[in-house]
Amino acid sequence: MGVCASIQFKFAGVKKMYLTINKEHVIDRVGERFEKTFSNPYQCLRFLADKLKESRLVEVYNKTPAYGSAIVYFENIQGFYMMTMGTKYNRDEIMLMTVLYRDFNDRSYNGKARKVRCKPTDYCFVLPEDASKPLICGPDKRVFIIGDDMGKERFA
């Protein structure tokens, strides 16, 4: 299946980029996770893009190389955006792969909070709910399960 929908927006409030969804299931998942109903994919993209306008996210663009996989956890919505930063056609395009929801206060999963597994090549970020706190670059062990130390030197 080709591109489902794409919109232009200002990533981190400063960088003009495109946000693209190329899988129908992403729209369904966003609707379920955020209890929203979208009449078309563009409404869904505008909703998702609003979360990506936060100025602290500029580090995601700066630290994730072209075609790199970024996973951003938003504390205020208890959700993850899994994205590819750039495509072979356009470096300034974000391909949103999926959206996940995790309630880290819910310990019903074998007595543990459900973390998201990431690969050593993923660039992981946490956007704190408190706007006065900076973006956390690197895998935060509260929300990510990693296969190895993931090379924290990339975020130094």
Each residue of 91-116: pLDDT tens digit? Answer: 899 999 988 877 666 656 565 567 78
Return the higher-pLDDT residue of 146 and 43.
43
Contact (CB, 8 A) for 150 and 141 = no
pTM for the whole structure: 0.83
Per DSSP, the residues of 42-107 read HHHHHHHHHHTT-GGGHHHHHHSPTTEEEEEEETTTTEEEEEEE--SS-TTEEEEEEEEE--TT--
The domain of 21 spans: 5-155
Q: Over pLDDT 70: what percentage of the chain?
A: 84
What is the residue type of 108? Answer: S
Average pLDDT for 18-39: 87
How many domains would you assign to the chain?
1
Mean per-residue pLDDT of the chain: 84
Q: Out of 50-59, 85-94, 143-152, which region has the weakest mean confidence (pLDDT)?
A: 143-152
Q: What is the pLDDT of residue 147?
A: 61
pLDDT of residue 133 exceeding 90, the answer is: yes
